[in-house]
Amino acid sequence: MSLNIQPNKAFTKRAMKAELLDAETEYALAVAWRDNRDEAALHRLITAYMRLAVSMAMKFKRYSVSQQDLIQEAGVGLMKAAEKFDPDRGFRFSTYAQWWIKASMQEFVMRNWSMVRTGSTSSQKSLFFNLKRVQSKIEREAQQNGADLNRAELDALIAQEIGVPLRDVEMMQGRMSGSDYSLNAPQSTEEDTREWMDTLEDTSPQSAEVVERNQDLQTMRGWINDAMLVLNDREKYVISQRKMADDPRTLESIGDELKLSKERIRQIEAAALEKLRKRLEKDVGKAARVLVDA
């Protein structure tokens, strides 16, 4: 399912002037898409509710992200809603679509807030979008009551108000209070100061480790090549496609190619692996079985 969404002023204006669908028309379009994959029905349904996506995107502009990108993400959420919507459940598409639109924009905002992933759990998302509002409310109420809250007390009240663990509040406070910095930035204003990049530990393998690893890989390849000699052509093909390919194939796809059932391919694979295990145990010992089990 695809739909060309290129947000601009003209697009937004057209979206806000799109037709309003009555319940019967909306139901008919949703059924046509669900049952018959009628793309014309889908296009009409999406176009009619793009105004909802645009309207919801406007509410996220305070997060300092591109308005056009927000509208595009809102459109993505709208299309996901159309894909999963079941008109027979008895509620309107707009009610169902709001959740998908909001979720899509929230994911986009959090991905683009910082180079460091801000959070992915429901607790972290709730904090990201509600922390500042709840904090302002608590501080305002405390001021009205003449209370002076320290950071620990404030974070505890925020956690209680939003219903999340205190450690999540403390983590999100830290992430949202700062901004991203370049590792190429100097550590100080002195002339010959180092960049922050220079303080990072080099975790890449050393030359001796690389040589040793390459030798081990070459030895293991030799073991595998020798063991493969016990397999017939069909078994070799299945093992090569399932265990040795950069992008391993599914049992079903190999079965379709060889005109065999998925279960038959699984049996061939299991039998081939057992042959390899026995050959490896015979030639190089039981420790080599890990090569087959991997």
- For residue range 204-259, what is the model confidence (pLDDT) as tens digits? 555 666 667 777 677 777 777 777 888 899 998 998 888 878 788 899 999 999 99
**Average of per-residue pLDDT across 149-176:** 84
The CA distance from 275 to 230, in Å, is 7
Query: What is the pLDDT, as a whole number, of residue 41?
Result: 93
Q: Mutual orientation of helices 39-58 and 23-36 as an angle, nearest 10°?
A: 120
Query: What is the pLDDT, as a whole number, of residue 2?
Result: 47
Query: What is the pLDDT, as a whole number, of residue 127?
Result: 76
The CA distance from 147 to 200, in Å, is 44
Q: Look at residue 50 and tell me whether its pLDDT is greater than 60.
A: yes
Count Cβ atoms within 10 A of the Cβ of residue 171 and give its class: 0-12 exposed, 13-18 middle, 19 or more buried: middle
The CA distance from 226 to 218, in Å, is 12
Phi-psi region of 178 (alpha: psi -120 to 50; beta: other; left: phi over 0): beta
Compute CA 265 distance to the chain's CA centroid, rounded to the nearest angstrom. Answer: 32
Asked whether the whole model's pTM tops 0.75, one would answer no
Query: What is the pLDDT, as a whole number, of residue 26?
Result: 93
Q: Look at residue 119 and tell me whether its pLDDT is greater than 90.
A: no
Instruction: State the alpha helices, DSSP H only, in the chain.
Output: 9-16, 23-36, 39-58, 67-84, 93-113, 122-144, 151-162, 166-177, 207-227, 233-239, 251-258, 262-284, 289-293
**Average of per-residue pLDDT across 199-205:** 54
Q: Say how many C-beta atoms besides its own lie within 10 A of residue 164's C-beta.
A: 21
The CA distance from 198 to 119, in Å, is 28
Q: Look at residue 165 and tell me whether its pLDDT is greater than 70.
A: yes
The CA distance from 56 to 97, in Å, is 11
